[in-house]
C-alpha cells in the first residue's frame, strides 16, 4: 500500500501585536492579531523528519514584530503585503503565504468633549479584517468586517413564509431586527485605497440596513450587498453573514399589563443564520 502526502500547510496563529506611534504629545495605537500560513516544499519534514526547509514558527512570530517596527501596520492590507514579500523573498521553499489580519479598535477617551491624546477606550467587539494570499505570480486581497452590531426597531416584517405541521411562529408586520454583520469582500483592482474603501463599505452597509423596508433578513442582506457592489467599482464580490438575533415580547398578561411592542427579552441562542454571496456579472 502506497501512502501519499496531500495538501499541507503550517504557520503561526494568533500572533498578537500592538504598535504605539509616539508623536510628541499625541499617540496612535494599532492592535492586531495575525494568522500566518505557509504552503510549499515541506514533504520531507513530514515523511522523514527533515526540517531543513522549515522556518520555525517562532521566527514567523518574530518577523511580525520586526517588520511592525519598520513599517506602520496601517492599512492592515499593506502590512500583510510587507510580511508576504519578506517571507517569499527569503524562503524559496515557500510557494504560497496566506495572512489573515484582525484589527482590534481603540477609541480615544473624551474629556470635556475633547479626545485625549494618549488615553484610549476599547471600541467594542467590531473588528476590521483582511486576508492577503500571495504566490510569486499573484496576490489576492479580501477585506472585511466582523461583529458589526446593528438594530432597527421598525421597518422589518416577516410574513407569508412556508408553514408545515410543526410551524408555531406568528407572522409580524413590525419587529425588531438585530444582527451582528460579518462581511467579506473581494477586490478586483490592484491599486486600492484600502482604508477609505473599508470605511465607505461599512457606511454603505449601515445606511442600507437602516433605510431598507425589510421583508426578511434575506431581503435586507441582498440590499446591503447590492449597495456595496454598486457603490465601489473595485469590489467584485461580497459575502454577508447575518445572524437573526431574536427579541421576543415579554408576557406581561400575568401581571394585568398589555405589552404594546415595548418590553422584549433578548435571546442569544438559538438564532437564525442567513448567508449569501453577491457577485458582479462579468
Which residues in the chain show pLDDT less than 50? none
pLDDT at residue 96 in the model: 98
pLDDT tens digits for 89-115?
Answer: 999 999 999 999 999 999 999 999 999
pLDDT tens digits for 43-66?
Answer: 999 999 999 999 999 999 999 999
Distance of alpha carbon 91 from alpha carbon 39, whole angstroms: 11
Distance of alpha carbon 17 from alpha carbon 202, whole angstroms: 24
pLDDT at residue 23 in the model: 84
Distance of alpha carbon 186 from alpha carbon 236, whole angstroms: 6
The residues assigned a catalytic role are 12, 57, 246
Residue partners of 123: CB distance under 8 A and separation at least 6: 104, 105, 106, 107
Distance of alpha carbon 32 from alpha carbon 186, whole angstroms: 21
Full set of structural domains in the chain with CATH: 9-137 (3.10.270.10), 148-282 (3.10.270.10)
**pTM score of the predicted model:** 0.90
pLDDT at residue 261 in the model: 84
Amino acid at each position: 500500500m502506497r501512502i501519499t502526502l496531500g495538501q499541507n500547510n503550517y504557520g503561526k496563529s494568533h500572533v498578537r501585536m500592538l504598535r504605539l506611534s509616539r508623536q510628541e504629545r499625541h499617540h496612535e495605537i494599532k492592535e492586531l492579531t495575525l494568522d500566518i500560513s505557509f504552503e510549499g516544499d515541506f514533504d520531507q519534514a513530514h515523511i522523514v523528519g527533515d526540517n531543513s526547509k522549515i522556518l520555525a514558527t517562532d521566527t514567523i512570530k518574530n518577523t511580525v514584530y520586526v517588520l511592525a517596527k519598520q513599517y506602520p501596520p496601517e492599512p492592515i492590507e499593506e502590512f500583510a503585503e510587507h510580511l508576504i514579500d519578506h517571507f517569499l523573498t527569503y524562503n524559496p521553499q515557500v510557494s504560497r503565504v496566506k495572512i489573515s489580519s484582525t484589527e482590534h479598535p481603540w477609541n480615544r477617551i473624551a474629556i470635556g468633549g475633547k479626545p485625549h491624546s494618549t488615553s484610549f477606550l476599547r471600541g467594542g467587539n467590531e473588528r476590521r479584517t483582511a486576508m492577503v494570499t500571495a504566490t510569486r505570480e499573484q496576490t489576492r486581497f479580501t477585506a472585511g468586517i466582523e461583529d458589526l452590531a446593528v438594530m432597527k426597531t421598525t421597518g422589518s416584517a416577516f410574513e407569508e413564509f412556508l408553514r408545515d405541521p410543526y410551524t408555531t411562529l406568528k407572522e409580524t408586520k413590525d419587529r425588531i431586527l438585530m444582527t451582528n454583520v460579518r462581511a467579506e469582500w473581494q477586490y478586483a483592482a490592484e491599486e486600492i485605497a484600502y482604508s477609505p474603501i473599508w470605511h465607505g463599505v461599512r457606511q454603505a452597509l449601515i445606511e442600507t440596513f437602516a433605510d431598507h423596508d425589510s421583508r426578511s433578513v434575506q431581503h435586507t442582506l441582498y440590499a446591503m450587498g447590492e449597495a456595496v457592489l454598486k457603490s465601489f467599482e473595485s469590489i467584485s464580490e461580497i459575502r454577508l453573514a447575518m445572524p437573526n438575533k431574536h427579541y421576543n415580547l415579554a408576557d406581561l398578561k400575568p401581571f394585568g399589563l398589555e405589552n404594546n411592542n415595548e418590553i422584549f427579552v433578548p435571546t442569544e441562542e438559538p438564532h437564525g443564520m442567513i448567508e449569501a454571496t453577491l457577485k458582479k456579472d462579468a
